């Protein structure tokens, strides 16, 4: 059909602009280096003894290969009760899953110790975030940590986040009040409001319980095997 005289004919340049070759662009984007840092928990906890705790993770790299870090810890009063840092190489092995291998360094409790770790992390069915990591220390001790959390949208900005973590050890470590087998379970329930997606204050409760041999060691040291705390904090990401 002939075009009206006021419409210019379509040229090869017009066709090239409308249908550009995107193959090179897509390949370039796949190889771009990006990063992400999440301060998942920056909080003050009130209980039998007040504490300040943190749980931070992040990565830098490309779509399939990334360098991951995790760090978490807790300060009770003027005493650093727990602190650790982890560094992993991560490789995407499925759409929602990464395989990890790296090292972990513990500063507290007890003397500093180093671990080698391997594991998986990703999204399980129904959008549960899962981390499963196995460690072997330079002293020959073994440790398995299982962690899962879920984000329940009350509204688009009000989000309830339950979390559960279990720690299993190959043998007891009395110097750190750790028992063999399932040594400790921790849980949390945090309700946050996202003023912006990357800025969200929250309120919640946390709970931890030492089990079996670890509970016996806690009682022998004059400590309670379990405790609950009120938590007030801030969640940030970059």
Predicted confidence band at 211 (pLDDT cuts at 50, 70, 90)?
Answer: confident
Please name which of 220, 126, 223, 144 lies closest in space to residue 185, comparing C-alpha atoms: 144
At residue 26, the pLDDT reads 47
At residue 3, the pLDDT reads 67
Tens digits of per-residue pLDDT, 47-102?
A: 877 899 999 999 999 989 999 999 999 998 888 989 999 999 999 999 999 999 99
Average the pLDDT over 8-15 and give the result: 77
Secondary structure E strands in 96-198: 97-108, 113-124, 128-137, 142-149, 152-153, 158-169, 181-193
Predicted confidence band at 172 (pLDDT cuts at 50, 70, 90)?
Answer: confident
- The angle formed by the CA atoms of residues 162, 166 and 170, to the nearest 5 degrees, is 170
Predicted confidence band at 137 (pLDDT cuts at 50, 70, 90)?
Answer: very high
Mean pLDDT over each residue of the chain, to the nearest integer: 90
Counting residues of the chain whose pLDDT is more than 90, the rounded percentage is 67
At residue 77, the pLDDT reads 83
Q: Is the dihedral of CA 197, 201, 203, 209 positive or negative?
A: positive
Q: Which domains does the chain have, with CATH numbers?
A: 12-237 (2.40.160.40)
At residue 23, the pLDDT reads 56
- The angle formed by the CA atoms of residues 189, 192 and 195, to the nearest 5 degrees, is 170
Q: Please give the Cα distance from 163 to 235 (Å, whole number).
A: 14
Residue 6 reports pLDDT greater than 80: no
Please name which of 191, 184, 233 lies closest in space to residue 209, comparing C-alpha atoms: 184
Predicted confidence band at 30 (pLDDT cuts at 50, 70, 90)?
Answer: low
């Amino acid at each position: 059909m002939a075009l009206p005289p006021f419409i210019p004919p379509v040229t090869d340049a017009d066709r090239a602009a409308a249908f550009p070759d995107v193959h090179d662009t897509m390949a370039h984007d796949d190889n771009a280096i990006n990063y992400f840092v999440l301060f998942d928990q920056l909080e003050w906890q009130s209980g039998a003894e007040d504490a300040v705790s943190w749980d931070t993770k992040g990565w830098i790299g490309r779509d399939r290969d990334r360098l991951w870090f995790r760090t978490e810890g807790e300060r009770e009063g003027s005493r650093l009760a727990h602190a650790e840092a982890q560094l992993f190489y991560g490789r995407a092995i499925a759409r929602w899953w990464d395989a990890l291998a790296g090292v972990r360094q513990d500063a507290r409790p007890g003397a500093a110790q180093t671990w080698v770790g391997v594991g998986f992390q990703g999204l399980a069915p129904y959008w549960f975030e899962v981390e499963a990591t196995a460690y072997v220390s330079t002293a020959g001790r073994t440790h398995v940590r299982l962690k899962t959390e879920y984000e329940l949208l009350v509204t688009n900005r009000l989000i309830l986040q339950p979390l559960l973590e279990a720690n299993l050890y190959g043998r007891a470590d009395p110097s750190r009040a750790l028992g063999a087998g399932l040594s400790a379970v921790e849980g949390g329930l945090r309700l946050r409001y996202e003023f912006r997606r990357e800025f969200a204050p929250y309120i919640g409760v946390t709970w931890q319980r030492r089990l079996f041999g670890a509970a016996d060691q806690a009682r022998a040291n004059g400590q309670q095997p379990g405790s609950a705390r009120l938590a007030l904090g801030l969640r940030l990401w970059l």
